[in-house]
Amino acid sequence: MTSNTDAVTRDWEGLTIPAPGTYLLDASHKRVGFVGRHMMVSKVRGDFADATATITVTEDPMHSTVTASIQAASITTAQADRDAHLRSPEFLDVEKFPTLEFRSTGVKSREGNEFVLSGELTIKDVTRPVDLEVEFEGVGRSPFGEDIFGFSAHTEIDREDFGLTWNVALETGGVLVGRKVKIEIEGEAIRQG
């Protein structure tokens, strides 16, 4: 922590951004969620309660990196039977594959406070490239003297690309579980040291 706000922020292309350093995802101010289709007619929302991330902000912000780890067993959709099924070998197989992992491979500036964070997402034993649409929400100092910044991000994946292929055909046509899953992330990151 530092005592001078100006020392922990800088201007970059019209944005006030964090100074270079290592930032950790604040467990108290984060959401790692998802949305999937159910029976072709509605959406089911869920979260992973246990997730960590390290964000390394570099002098050139376009060289910054992110690594994240999500505890697969922390999945919750507010329905115990469904949660147990999602943890089972038919979906995440949390006993064999306890984490979902993300490692960034690049970042590009879009417009204003919008960026694209490219990376590799690993679910079970499958790694695929993904692009996260990121919105930088701002930088500040908490009442506890911590230097923080906020962000939100989203992307959409095809769960079958990651080996999550379980499904049931419906008599009326279609399937019980949609293939597309929207990932939604919001959080604050706290400067270390």
Half-sphere exposure of 16 toward its Cβ, with a 13 Å CA cutoff? 12
Average pLDDT over residues 11-40: 92
pLDDT of residue 6: 47
pLDDT level of residue 170 (50, 70, 90 thresholds)? low
Task: Name the residue ranges covered by the structural domains of the chain.
Answer: 5-191
Average pLDDT over residues 17-26: 95
Per-range mean pLDDT, top range of 106-110, 141-145, 161-165: 106-110
Half-sphere exposure of 178 toward its Cβ, with a 13 Å CA cutoff? 17
- Reported as a single tens digit per residue, the pLDDT across 56-81 is 999 999 999 999 999 999 999 999 99
- Reported as a single tens digit per residue, the pLDDT across 1-14 is 444 444 688 999 99
CA dihedral for 140, 142, 145, 149, sign (positive or negative): negative
Distance CA 130, CA 116 (A): 10
Q: Locate tokens 């490692």: which residue? A: 103
pLDDT of residue 18: 94
Distance CA 74, CA 10 (A): 36
pLDDT of residue 148: 95
Question: What dotted CATH number matches 5-191?
Answer: 2.40.128.110
Query: Would you say residue 193 has pLDDT above 80?
Result: no
DSSP string, 76-144: E-S-HHHHHHHHSTTTT-TTT--EEEEEEEEEEE-STTEEEEEEEEEETTEEEEEEEEEEEEEEEE-TT
- Contact by Cβ (8 Å): 98, 73: yes
Angle at 185 between CA 184 and CA 189, to 5 degrees: 175
